[in-house]
Amino acid sequence: MIALNEQPAERAFSLDAEVEQIYRESRGSVCAYLLYLGVSADKAQEVTQEVFLRLYQTMRKGTPIENLRGWAFRVAHNLGLKVRSKERSFRAVDADWDRFAHPSNSPESELLDKERNQRVAAAMEELSPQQRNCLYLRSEGLRYREIAEVMGISSSTVNEFLRRAIARLAKAANE
Amino acid sequence: MNNQPQTHLSEDDLILFMDRELSATAAANAEQHLMQCGDCSQRLKRLKAGSAAYAQYREAVLKPTLPVPETGWARLSQEVIKEKRRRWGWGWAAACACGLALAIAYFLVSEQPSAQQVLSRAEAAEPVPATARLLLTTGHERLYRPAVLESGPSEVRFQHVRALFVQANYSWENPLSARSFSSWRKSLPQKEDAVTLISAAGGRKFYRVQTSTSESILRSASLTLQAESYHPTKVDLSFVGQDPVELSEQTEPPKNGLEVVQAPAPMVMPKVIESPATPEDELRVFAALDAMGAEAEEPIDVKMDMEHHSVLLTGMGLATGRRKEIENAVGALPRTVLHFSSGPRLSDDPAFTSTPNNDAPDESQAFRQNLQDRYGGAHQLQAATDKALDASNGLFARAHLLFLLAREFPPGVESTLSSASATSLLSMRQRDVGAMEYALRQLKEELLPLSSDSAPQESNNEQVARGAAWQSVADALFTNARNLDSTVSRLLSGRYTEQEGNTMLKQLPSDLTKVEILIRAQSITDK
Q: Is the pLDDT of residue B81 over 70?
A: no
**CA angle at A131 for the pair A127 and A133, rounded to the nearest 5°:** 120
d(CA B50, CA A172): 8
B382–A contact, CB cutoff 8 A: yes
Minimum-distance CB partner of A95 among B15, B65, B266: B65
Q: Is the pLDDT of residue B436 over 90?
A: no
Looking at chain A, the whole-number percentage of residues with pLDDT higher than 70 is 77
DSSP state of B230: -
Average pLDDT, chain B: 73
Nearest CA in chain A to B241: A12
Alpha carbon separation from A12 to A104, B154, B298, B489 (Å, rounded): 50, 27, 18, 28
d(CA A128, CA A161): 9
Q: Is the pLDDT of residue A48 over 80?
A: yes
Which residues on chain B are in Cβ contact (under 8 Å) with A97?
61
- Residues 6+ positions from B149 with CB-CB distance below 8 Å: B172, B173, B174
| Cβ-contact A59, A71 below 8 angstroms | no
**CA angle at B30 for the pair B29 and B32, rounded to the nearest 5°:** 65
Is A93 close to B52, i.e. CB distance below 8 A?
Answer: no
Alpha carbon separation from B35 to B22, B32, B38 (Å, rounded): 17, 5, 8
A62–B contact, CB cutoff 8 A: yes
Pairing of strands B218-226, B300-304: unpaired
Single-letter amino acid, residue B301: D
Q: What is the pLDDT of residue A2?
A: 31
Is A56 close to B353, i.e. CB distance below 8 A?
Answer: no
Give B465-515 pLDDT, tens digit per residue. Answer: 666 788 888 888 888 888 887 788 777 766 667 777 788 888 888 888 889
Residue in B371, B391, B406 with CA at minimum distance from that of residue B481: B391
- Residues 6+ positions from A68 with CB-CB distance below 8 Å: A22, A26, A55
d(CA B197, CA B107): 9
Is B71 close to A11, i.e. CB distance below 8 A?
Answer: no
d(CA A151, CA B334): 54
Q: What is the mean pLDDT of residues A68-92?
A: 77
- Residues 6+ positions from B239 with CB-CB distance below 8 Å: B164, B168, B217, B218, B219, B245
Least confident of A39-43, B194-198, B356-360: B356-360
Residues 10-49 of chain A whose Cβ lies under 8 A from any Cβ of chain B = 10-12, 14-17, 19-21, 23-25, 27-28, 31-32, 35-36, 41, 45, 48-49
d(CA B256, CA B361): 63
> What does R_g of chain A's alpha carbons equal in angstroms?
20
Q: Is the pLDDT of residue A57 over 70?
A: yes
Q: Is the pLDDT of residue B273 over 70?
A: no
Residues 176-195 of chain B whose Cβ lies under 8 A from any Cβ of chain A = 192
Instruction: Identify the bridge partners of residue B234 per DSSP, sorted by sequence position.
Output: B224, B248
Higher-pLDDT residue of B32, B71: B32
In this structure, how many other beta carbons lie within 10 angstroms of the beta carbon of residue A125? 10
Q: HSE of B184 in the Cβ direction (CA atoms, 13 Å)?
A: 32
B273–A contact, CB cutoff 8 A: no
| Cβ-contact B180, B172 below 8 angstroms | no
Give the sign of the dihedral formed by CA B268, CA B274, CA B279, CA B283. Answer: negative
Q: What is the mean pLDDT of residues B516-520?
A: 88
Is A144 close to B21, i.e. CB distance below 8 A?
Answer: yes
- Give A170's pLDDT tier (boundaries 50, 70, 90): very high
Least confident of A91-95, A154-158, B25-29, B487-491: A91-95
Q: What is the mean pLDDT of residues B163-183?
A: 88
pTM of the predicted protein model: 0.38
Is B341 close to A7, i.e. CB distance below 8 A?
Answer: yes
Query: In B306-363, which ranges are continuous DSSP H helix?
Result: 320-330
Least confident of A31-40, B5-14, B154-163, B495-504: B154-163
Dihedral-angle region of residue A141 (phi above 0 means left; psi in -120 to 50 means alpha; beta otherwise)? left
| Cβ-contact B178, B122 below 8 angstroms | yes
B13, B18, B68, B158, best to mutate vs chain A, most A CBs in 10 Å: B68
B380–A contact, CB cutoff 8 A: no
Buried b (16+ CB within 10 A) or exposed e, B106-117: bebeeebeebee
Which residues on chain A are in Cβ contact (under 8 Å) with B68?
27-28, 31-32, 35
Q: What is the pLDDT of residue B295?
A: 53
A129–B contact, CB cutoff 8 A: no
B328–A contact, CB cutoff 8 A: no
Dihedral-angle region of residue A53 (phi above 0 means left; psi in -120 to 50 means alpha; beta otherwise)? alpha
d(CA B460, CA B27): 60
Q: How many helices (H) and strands (E) does chain A have?
A: 9, 0
d(CA B238, CA B176): 14
Nearest CA in chain B to A53: B80
Which secondary-structure segment (H or E) carries B303?
Answer: strand B300-304
In this structure, how many other beta carbons lie within 10 angstroms of the beta carbon of residue B32? 11
Is A94 close to B358, i.e. CB distance below 8 A?
Answer: no
- Residues 6+ positions from B16 with CB-CB distance below 8 Å: A159, B22, B26
